[in-house]
Structure 1
């Protein structure tokens, strides 16, 4: 009989703080009840300058009642146009390594893993994730679905000279929905927030841009309206980053 492992996951989303602890979030989004505590990592965010050397010591702890086979892998982020981020599981984070990538943890045991930056990143900065996966050591012999744990922390190698620059592309309208692509042309992860005012023949709509972190070089779409009638519109975008005005631009577009 084939076994399936359902991985509950906690994602630090580019840099939230605290301990990442899974307590039974099963695959598919449904909640699985567990009383055994699961897997934890501390710290969940590694932040360092671009100088090569040891970045941090991360403690991985097994709070469950079963022995776990654990893997620890530094990975780059991928970011969708919606702003959602996830580790790229097809790649490893260049220049970052760990001294213990696989090990077994008995119930209640801990392991300290040291992350190291081998060389200064060419761009002067680097943003990625530290993925920790734990599955019961006897998963292959268990029946049915086996609950495993996936923790995703953040690795942030900060630039010596922060650069803040947000640019906007042309508005994209599809059907009655429009979005404005914005690109992080700087080198930081400071969140972007603000507003979009959309004016058309039927009136004006004021839209709030929720705080979002955009990876350097990546583009995400800001909302420019839904259920828009056919016609011509003007979108005025006002964004802030790092406590200062980052973008003030007006874009014209049509909904056909």
Structure 2
């Protein structure tokens, strides 16, 4: 369930998890068939870099949401929160031993074969993801961003889409909704993914201050994305930034404790 404009809208899911993965595999197969010659080797420095960052992000998803244990809820329709992924709520629930009262909706992440592939295309400043865990990052995006924190912002955004099953929603909106509503709701999934991504990257130990900077560098290339400036403004709001900073401090503190313990 998401809220906006003073009105709460409950969004219904489209298709089964198996349908999602089949769709993702079909789309990715097409990309692989037509662009595999531009796929960089897994040993290429760019590939190694993005996979290391992604590994940290996915560790945070596993650690903070306890996917295998099913004691955290990710979202839509949740009576506990009105955002798809509230990392803060999940962490606090675990600490207090009080699982969220809502029904977990994370079984679609079980056994997901996550893979990040870098594609050589310096003219494309972007990335994309599919429901079966495949993520493509174009070299144009890596050239446009400066730090690992900024890159983590965009990788976390793509992970957030998969976690929240946004591709499934988008299919439904594009197929059944009239144009103005279609644009409105898909834009909301993009805003939601930005918010989720900042919380996720912070929980993984990446500085959330980099998130507004990263999205501001992007140029919306279609009607479904807000301008980079508007996205940065939304992420810079005190309530969202403070929430992310608290997660960031906890992540850094936890890592420092692990280092001291090992010493």
Provide TM-score, normalisation by structure 1.
Answer: 0.22
Higher share in strand: 1
Higher share in helix: 2
Q: In terms of Rg, which structure is larger?
A: 1
